[in-house]
Structure 1
Amino acid sequence: MENNKGNLAKGLVIGFIAGSIVGAIIALLYAPKSGKELRADIKSKGEDLLGEAEQYLARAREKATDIINEGKARSEKLIAQAQQKAETILKDAEQILSAAKEKAGQVSEEAGKLKSAVKAGIETYKSERGKS
């Protein structure tokens, strides 16, 4: 949609400039003037049109620069947001990993205690059985 507006504006400006040139030439050719005056008028109109075209190009360059700068600012903002989210996810993952390691250590410790208790139970059973 934005591109269509840009193309329409560009077409209108080009049409305006072309129409101005054609109109100026026709006006000059039908005006009752000497050749020297006619050439001076054509040169003057040409310079005027050249000035208008240069102004249009300067505005177009300025607008393009603004659009490029806006795009850069948006992309930098998105990159910063993505980095911040990635850092948050990494931090959360580290906390989860740390908690999992702690739980694994607790489970291992409890398994060791259970193993010792079972071993002690077996030893007690054997000693009691041997007494009977």
Structure 2
Amino acid sequence: MAEEHNGMAKGLMIGFVAGAVVGAVVALLYAPKSGKELRRDIKDKANDLKDEVSEKLRLARTRAADIINEGKRRSDQIITDAKEQASHLLDDADKLISTARERAGEETKKVSAAFRSGVETYKKENG
């Protein structure tokens, strides 16, 4: 999508420059002026056009830099958020594992005590 936007912007810029050049040349050619005045006018128009294009390029570069910086800022924020979520999930998993180990240990003690009690009862009854 960015490539499509860049291509469209580039085409628009080329169209703008071409239209400005053609318009300036046609206007100068139909103006009733001497050769010296015409050359000066062409030179002035060319300089004006160059200045306009330079300014538009500067604005485009600034805009592109702003877009890139915003993209970096957003991606950094997404990475930070993902790390925080992963950290919370790992903490939750550690708590669950600890709880499960404690419960397993308690149940093992209960089963062990019940088994010993059963063995003792068996020995008392059978000899």
Matched, 1:94 2:83: no
User: What is the one-letter code of the residue matched to 1:65?
Assistant: A
Distance 2:29 2:126 in 1: 128
1:112 is displaced (CA, Å) by: 1.3
1:110 is displaced (CA, Å) by: 0.9
Distance 1:9 1:79 in 2: 31
Q: Which residue of 1 aligns with 2:69?
A: 69
Distance 1:67 1:111 in 2: 65
1:42 is displaced (CA, Å) by: 0.9
1:38-64 deviation digits (Å, cap 9, x = unpaired): 211111110100000001101111111
Q: Which residue of 2 aligns with 1:25?
A: 25
Q: Which residue of 2 aligns with 1:130?
A: none
- What is the alpha-carbon root mean square deviation over aligned residues? 2.0
User: What is the one-letter code of the residue matched to 1:72?
Assistant: K
Distance 1:106 1:50 in 2: 83
Normalising by structure 2, what TM-score?
0.88
Moved more, 90-99 or 69-78: 69-78
Q: Which residue of 2 aligns with 1:78?
A: 78
Moved more, 35-44 or 95-104: 35-44
Alignment of 1:7-22 (within 5 A): 10-22=10-22
How many positions carry a matched residue from both structures?
127
Q: Which residue of 2 aligns with 1:105?
A: 105
Identity of aligned residues (%): 45
